Amino acid sequence: MRSLITYYSYSGNTEKTANILAGILRQKGDVTIQRLKPKEEIASFLGQCGAAFTGKRSDLQDGIEYDASPYDLILIGCPVWAFAPTPAVNTYLDGISGLNGKKAVIFVTYGSGAGVKRCVERIKTVLKDNGAYDIGELAVQQLKTDDSVFVSSLFKKALSP
Ligand SMILES: Cc1cc2nc3c(=O)[nH]c(=O)nc-3n(C[C@H](O)[C@H](O)[C@H](O)COP(=O)(O)O)c2cc1C
């Protein structure tokens, strides 16, 4: 099985979860893991909230794989920002291709939990519109993002239909 994990992480929580998921998937096959990096990060909390809430995109550094067609499983990881996906993930979702008939899993990390559902739905809609047929999801509270037992139990649930 070939898996593609694509994620954005500003302060490292989503990266911890991405690495746990990569470890699990490496036991089943090949894993490509890529972190989205904006050419310019928005540094202020309010700026980040405003950009996410209004659906902004960010210009990403090169070297990102957008073609999902060589993979069996596609994972998209994102922190919840102001009830929404981050600009880097929006940009990635604009460019993703080859999703037709693919299985996908969305993983988000969050603080208070406000807006988790809305953020996941935003990502799910784009994946569905691009032909992904089976979309699982997991949401990990920020204090649990490096808890491998917890994350793997959520991941199992996300993978079962
Ligand atoms: C700009 C900003 C906005 C946030 N908005 C929300 C939110 O709406 N709901 C929530 O539950 N957590 C929110 N959080 C908390 C993050 O989702 C949480 O800390 C996440 O794990 C950060 O991931 P990262 O370390 O990979 O960047 C926000 C954090 C930031 C920095």
Cβ–Cβ under 8 Å, residues 92 and 68? no
Instruction: Provide the CB-side half-sphere exposure for 31 (13 A, CA).
Output: 16
Q: pLDDT (tens digit, 9 = 90+) per residue, 55-77?
A: 999 999 999 999 999 999 999 99
Given this structure, which CATH class describes domain 2-159?
alpha beta
pLDDT at 142: 98
pLDDT at 160: 87
This model's pTM is above 0.85: yes
Which residues lie closer than 8 Å to 37 by C-beta, 6 or more apart?
A: 60, 61, 88
Binding-site residues, ligand 1, Cβ < 6 A: 9-15, 45, 48-49, 79-83, 109-116, 142
Query: What is the CB neighbour count within 10 angstroms for residue 99?
Result: 22
Domain boundaries, the chain: 2-159
The CA 79 to ligand 1 mean position distance, Å, reads: 5
Q: pLDDT (tens digit, 9 = 90+) per residue, 84-127?
A: 999 999 999 999 999 999 999 999 999 999 999 999 999 999 99
For a substitution probing ligand 1, which of 80, 86, 117, 140 has the most ligand atoms within 8 Å of its CB? 80
